[in-house]
A and B are shown apart, each in its own frame.
Chain A
């Protein structure tokens, strides 16, 4: 067994797939940032709001006012550097740090696909993605006459495949529940409202369509990694990847995620395919730069193997990657440590590839009680929160608690004493009628945030079976 592992870790493969992945990853990230910027979302979501919802333990991560634009600039520049393979390691580290910082600034904006980008870029720090078909390789050969490498450890490409497989399989496992499979929820709510989509719009209202989509979606997520791994089904699987993600793109506002997943799936193809892409790019570069830059073909065919400069660092890297995957595999199961229905309490919901599983919305009205005078009044949430923040806050307990603390501090700074904060909240989940969500008798000002179970959430009165 140990021999097999050592043998595996020492085996090599062509570097082209990783290089192609790097080029596309950088381009997509650059487009994502430009898109985010062009919608005015930096201002709207990070600069304008008075208050930001932070992640537990990362309360110190805050937007920098107008300098937040600079942060996005850094992120955009680093993504271009990744594409070019120019000072790759610095670029990917900068990208990981800046992108993750952006995502940590306000958890209102949390999306599983942003989390995917964050951890993928973390993983890419440890991969030699800048050694082949890159500015780095080009300059090394020019300046120091060092021939670039052609082969890299097999595990480096497999690690990306594994990460993608984890995303899909866990997304599929999360769908194995009674709401999704037996009630076709929440698709039965969402699909009929998409009646205005061309061609398929008028059948989306049919109940059976929701069931077909639910079951198809779950099976897709569960099996697509295997179909991509197996050579004989790979082409078919990739066609499915395109159909599935374009369909989700048409039906739901999920931004760049479909494109990221479609392009990522290319990593499953063999080296020959990727070399064709690299050669096509290499041909394209001179015409793009009007002959000023050429990427010499011999740099792409060197027969050299990647050798880490410092074997010790390489060993540490490998350990980090191994730990990273153990964490990735265990993290989605942490919800089992909490009592109650996961969809209701959301304890252990994030960072677990639970995507499109819930139509959940809520309403939360906060009551402030002055502990000394006994004066009581309600808060107008729009005084403090943006519509999106209010929406996200109203059905997620950790948001409700953080906001309650903010209100306590705000009203105490206004001269109220010993402020108590109570919430009257209603939440509706997957077509069920709304019910009281948080115990209205609990003074949230006195409750501390922690990873412990939040016993002030009212129990879910229905049952959702499954994972």
Chain B
């Protein structure tokens, strides 16, 4: 044993000397701030970022969303009372506004929204039209059951306002008057909108109540800390719901065949591209910490990365990510409507734009998460 030890020790001394030499040879590697100013790292304040997220982005988004849903509720009531073309158009336009605003809050599936499963309750598509018809006819439905998630939310309203009959006149006639069948339709439409309202108000009230402080005060660094969790949720949203849900799945990326019946707002039509872009803007604005509906920015993933960039050889990862967001937006903006693009076989332009959207994923999931040392899941690790 002693002989072995002696050899190991000898080897050790040699390598140490080797390293001592190589160090003095190329001290250039030692520092990464050659010619630049190196602000102290670690000054980044995660709790400032959390406050910015909660106070300037998340809560204002929910406030706005709740207001838009309330307006939709009013419009539905007016339409039920008087099913005119003008009132139908009003409901449709309020639905469109609310659905667009939804694209701004969908990514915040944390805390209250996570508890009530907001996203699953509000935006599962394609909607199940058979189930909707059954519910309308039976009148015996409980929208809080998870089995009814495919028969409610924005996609169900899309069907109820655009797809339930072939023409606008025919649609209006479904809701017109006070006969049993018209009442059944009116009731279902208001029940679906009421269900969204209930959820949105619940989530908003919790954020305005205790949850804001719980969220902001959980400012540590662990798999259960707010930053780590919301970043995970954010990336999950980008990957699953924005990239895959709005583009990948309809484009046949995961099945090999185009599934144009799986686009968002199928019955209204020509909206899925707009919704996608709204969602993309929302994710980029969140990345940059942009206060809701304004141009002022606060502490964010962008500024966090800016801070950390001093560590990683001055490569501006935040700029790379913003550039890729921009490239993706340009690529998608240049498309015609998703319906038109998907009618092309194969939908090459659509898939090329999708690839640009896809390129953001590794930047967020690998480079950003790695730079911030965000935990993915709770388990023992020894870093190998």
Contact = CB atoms under 8 A, between A and B. Distances in A.
A466 B308 contact: no
A412 to B, nearest CB: 15
Interface string B336-361: 00000000000000000000001001
Given A45-B379, A176-B15, A433-B320, A169 B366 contact: no
A22 B16 CA distance: 36
B244 interface: yes
B312 interface: yes
Given A205-B40, A432-B312, A465-B22, A253 B379 contact: yes
A12 interface: no
A341 to B, nearest CB: 15
Interface in B163-220: 219-220
Nearest to B359: A426
A206 B42 contact: yes
B89 interface: no
Interface residues of A, number: 76
Interface in A180-209: 181-183, 186, 188-190, 192-196, 202, 204-207
Contacts of A357: 383-384
Interface in A148-163: 158, 162
Nearest to B46: A195
B215 to A, nearest CB: 15
Nearest to B29: A182
B256 A205 contact: no
B41 A379 contact: no
B42 A195 contact: yes
Interface string B1-24: 100110011001001100100110
B317 interface: yes
A434 B363 contact: yes
Interface string A250-270: 001111010000000000000
A438 to B, nearest CB: 13
B361 to A, nearest CB: 7
Interface stretch (A57-65, A284-292, A369-377, A398-406): A369-377
Interface residues of B, number: 64
Given A434-B366, A465-B22, A196 B384 contact: no
A41 B379 contact: yes
Interface string B244-256: 1000100011111
Given A375-B256, A428-B370, A253 B384 contact: no
A327 interface: no
Given A158-B1, A434-B367, A181 B41 contact: no
B382 A176 contact: no
Contact of B370 (A111, A158, A361, A465): A361
Contacts of B370: 189, 359-361, 428, 431, 434
Given A158-B1, A182-B29, A206-B40, A431 B313 contact: yes
Interface stretch (A81-89, A300-308, A309-317, A348-356): A348-356
A41 B380 CA distance: 10
B351 to A, nearest CB: 10
Given A190-B373, A193-B221, A196-B219, A205 B41 contact: yes
A188 B244 CA distance: 34
A154 to B, nearest CB: 10
Contacts of A427: 366
B369 interface: yes
Contacts of B358: 365
B376 A356 contact: no
A302 B154 CA distance: 83
Contacts of B12: 169, 172-173, 222
9 contacts: A158-B1, A173-B12, A193-B373, A196-B225, A252-B382, A253-B380, A356-B384, A362-B366, A388-B377
Given A370-B256, A466-B19, 20 more contacts: A169-B8, A169-B12, A189-B370, A192-B41, A192-B42, A194-B221, A195-B42, A205-B41, A222-B12, A222-B16, A253-B381, A329-B4, A355-B383, A356-B384, A358-B384, A377-B254, A380-B244, A426-B362, A433-B367, A434-B370
Interface of A: 41, 45, 109, 111-113, 158, 162, 165, 169, 172-173, 176, 178, 181-183, 186, 188-190, 192-196, 202, 204-207, 222, 226, 252-255, 257, 329, 349-350, 354-363, 365, 368, 370, 375-380, 382, 386-388, 391, 394, 426-428, 431-434, 465-467
